[in-house]
Amino acid sequence: MTAALRLSGVTVERGGQPVVEALDLSVPQGSWFGVIGANGSGKTSLLRALAGRLPFAGGSCRIEDQELAADRAARAARFGFAPPGDTLPDALRVRDVLECVGGTMEEVRARTGSVYAALGLGALLDCWIGDCSAGMRQRVAIAAAFAGGHRLVILDEPFNWLDPVAVFDLRRALRQQVEDGLTLITALHDLGTLAAACDTGLMLAGGKIAMTLSHDMLRAAGADPHAFEQRMIEILRS
Amino acid sequence: MGASDGRRGHLFRLDCRIARNATRAALAGRRDRLNAGFMLVVVLAALHAWFAGRSWQIGAWAALGGGACAGVAAGRLIAARLHFHGTDGLLAALALRPSTGRHYRLAAHGIGVAILATITLIARPSLLIVSLPAYLAGAAVAHLTAMLAPSGAVFAKVRLGWTIRIWLHRPGAGMTAAAAVLLSLVVTGTLSSNARIAIVGIEAVIATLALTSVDHPTVRFMTVAGQGSWRIVAHHGRSMLPFVLLAVPITWLILGPLAAGIVAAACGAMLLLMTMRILAYRLHGRRFADLLVSVFAGMLILTAYMLPPALPVAALAILWHLHRRAAAKTWLLG
């Protein structure tokens, strides 16, 4: 399978300190790649650097066979990325946010596809962001990642703050989009979703790869999620 | 790949829309709009009256200082906003393009220049040749310092900022500031008395401004954690006590009561400003609270200028009004 993204020896620094070190990974096109790890293990920094929101301090980042490690703007243009919900501008309506990223609402609806309904966006369009709860903001932020029509999307812990119905619907919609060719990279804390929905992944610890999660490993995890969870917790604890 | 003209302007138009909506929300009521309009007219009239009563040279110095400060502040605000757009914004891909950044800076400074030109024309039109170049010089300085700062040092700078802010609220900071005032009085012993009073006055303003800094998230957290207004004021003003107790008597002994009075007045004014900010932060989001405090500070300055004996009454009335509303916010989230 062709790689949509290939990282080799990448390092990400924050405040002059490396938070991700000499990391190698490859994400196949049209797959869901899950990143797990303890708090502070470097998941968010890695995803932000991939999406051009942070610079890489070193290494190679090839996106669809183009070397973009030194070009933040080009990386930001390649990926759909959900900004943190609490940074969305209070003084805009949900409709304004989506139109700002994706053009007209018709275009946004077409680009977000099944995600639009899963997030229940129709009922939110006229709400002010300032009046939205954390869960509603999270829905808008996820929709913004899809509104630009990107085929590579990064979501950092997308299921946080969502109610159980929204989690179920969104997970199914994301999986459907992946089946249709989307390449999705998500940071997750939910081992059940990792086992049930992701194709491949990795576990980060202290900014380094603690474990690579192959397709076969995750299929086996899907078959026996309890055993998988127990094993992962043991590794995370250590 | 360069951004097309339309896309380049997209980022700036987004911020204009946010600013327009936020202003509409802040001035939603008819009374709010009337109050703001009245305040604006009064402030501009006072500015005009102040400049009319001064020689051109004094006016030019004020325009130079005001223009340069406005340029630096606008430059820093624009740089911070562009940084936000490139990291957490909705249009990061656009914001990270150098051509979009240039367009955004030009458009935003265009608004800054237009506002400053309007104010200068109302205050004293002949000062335009001073205020606008000063603004542009200030903006250039802000741009250059932002460019020279290494991008990787942002987080280190933030951490250093936290450390300094915490230290500034410790009694040791007040003692250090008072020692600095004493040192400057010793060092400037050969200067005239007027020059020394001016120096100590400027030092007192700078020191008290630093010692009374207010952190919005800290005030919000302490409010939600059940702390009352005066406890938060005491927390933020801890370093002021040693400064007042040391700097005022030292200045009195070395330079006399006039200089001591100036230092005491600076302390009182900054403590008042700090208290108003804390009470306003308990009530509102940071931007609106800062706007509200600016309006109240403007009212107090006008009162001091036109009717000085009424100043304590006006200050107490504002504090009582804010405190009464802020007291109800203890423990409340949001």
Q: Is the pLDDT of residue B3 over 50?
A: no
Residue among B96, B158, B285 minimizing CB distance to A73? B96
Instruction: Mutation target for B interface from A11, A56, A72, A98: give the one with most B CBs within 10 A.
Output: A72
Q: What is the pLDDT of residues B155-164, one digit of tens each?
A: 566 677 788 8
A86, closest residue in chain B (CA to CA): B88
Residues contacting residue B307 through CB under 8 Å, at least 6 positions apart: none
Q: How would residue B1 be classed by pLDDT, with cut points 50, 70 and 90? A: very low
Q: What percent of chain B has pLDDT over 70?
A: 95
Which residues 178-237 of A have a C-beta within 8 angstroms of B? none
**Look-up: residue for tokens 């999660």?**
A213
Per the structure block, which two tokens stand in for A229? 């969870």
Give chain A's length: 238
Determine the angle formed by the axes of helices B193-211 and B240-255, rounding to 10 degrees: 180
What is the pLDDT confidence band of residue B151, given thresholds at 50, 70 and 90? low
CA–CA min distance B153, chain A (Å): 6
Q: What is the number of CB-based contacts under 8 A between chain A and chain B?
A: 67
For B23, name the nearest residue in chain A, comparing CA atoms only.
A91
Residues above pLDDT 90, as percent of chain B: 54
Q: What is the pTM of this model?
A: 0.80
Residue B202: is its pLDDT beyond 60? yes
Domains present along chain A, CATH in parentheses: 3-237 (3.40.50.300)
pLDDT over 60 (residue B154) = no
* Cα–Cα distance, B328 to B104 (Å, whole number): 42
What residues of B are in contact with residue A72 (Cβ under 8 Å)? 86, 96
Q: Which range, B17-26, B124-133, B146-155, B322-331, has the best average confidence (pLDDT)?
A: B124-133
What is the per-residue pLDDT for B305? 80
What is the widest separation between alpha-carbon atoms in chain B? Answer: 68
Please report residues of A whose CB lies closer than 8 A to that of B92: 51-53, 76, 81, 83
- Inter-chain contact A16–B153, Cβ cutoff 8 Å? yes
Among A72, A97, A130, the residue with its CB nearest the CB of B96 is A72
Residue located via tokens 């430059």:
B75
**Residues of A whose CB is below 8 A from B18:** 89, 91-92
In a mutational test of the B interface, the residue from A12, A47, A48, A53 whose CB has the highest number of chain B CBs within 10 Å is: A53
Is the predicted pLDDT of residue B181 greater than 80, yes or no?
yes
pLDDT of residue B333 exceeding 80:
no
Phi, psi angles (nearest 5°) of residue B214:
-125, 135
Between B146 and B272, the higher pLDDT residue: B272
Q: What pLDDT was estimated at residue A1?
A: 66
Q: A90-116: buried (b, 16+ CB within 10 Å) or exposed (e) per residue? A: bbbbbbbbbbbbbeebeebbebbbbbb
Q: What is the pLDDT along chain A (238 residues), one digit of tens a residue?
A: 689 999 999 999 987 889 999 999 999 999 999 999 999 999 999 999 999 999 999 999 999 999 999 999 999 999 999 999 999 999 999 999 999 999 999 999 999 999 999 999 999 999 999 899 999 999 999 999 999 999 999 999 999 999 999 999 999 999 999 999 999 999 998 898 999 999 999 999 999 999 999 999 999 998 998 999 998 888 888 7
Query: What are B65-91's pLDDT values in tens digits?
Result: 999 989 999 999 999 999 999 999 999
Inform me whether the C-beta atom of residue A103 falls under 8 Å from chain B C-beta atoms: no
Number of H helices, E strands in chain A: 10, 10
More confident residue, B134 or B188: B134
Q: What is the mean pLDDT of chain B?
A: 88
CA of A226 vs chain B CAs: smallest distance (Å)? 36
Contact B300, B318 (CB under 8 A): yes
Report the range of poorest mean pLDDT among A140-149, B197-206, B273-282. B197-206
pLDDT for residue B282: 92
Question: Does B6 have pLDDT greater than 50?
Answer: yes
> What pairs with residue A36 in β-bridges?
A203
Angle B82-B83-B89 (CA atoms, 0-180°, nearest 5)?
A: 80
* Contact yes or no for A144 and B90 at CB 8 A: yes
Instruction: Write out chain A in H/E/C secondary structure.
Output: CCEEEEEEEEEEEECCEEEEEEEEEEEECCCEEEEEECCCCCHHHHHHHHCCCCCCCEEEEEECCEECCCCHHHHHHHEEECCCHHHCCCCCEHHHHHHHHHCCHHHHHHHHCHHHHHCCHHHCCCCEHHHCCHHHHHHHHHHHHHHCCCCEEEEECCCCCCCHHHHHHHHHHHHHHHHCCCEEEEECCCHHHHHHHCCEEEEEECCEEEEEECHHHHHHHHHCHHHHHHHHHHHHHC
Task: Give the residue among B226, B217, B216 at the shortest CA–CA distance from B331.
Answer: B226
Condensed to tens digits (0 to 9), the pLDDT of residues B316-332 reads 999 998 998 888 877 77
Distance of residue A162 Cα from the nearest chain B Cα, in angstroms: 20
**Which is nearest to A113 in space by CA: A162, A157, A160, A169?**
A169
Among A38-42, B123-127, B163-167, B247-251, the least confident range:
B163-167
pLDDT for residue B328: 80
Question: B2 pLDDT exceeds 50?
Answer: no
Inter-chain CB proximity B88 and A84 less than 8 Å: yes
| B160 CA to centre of own chain | 21
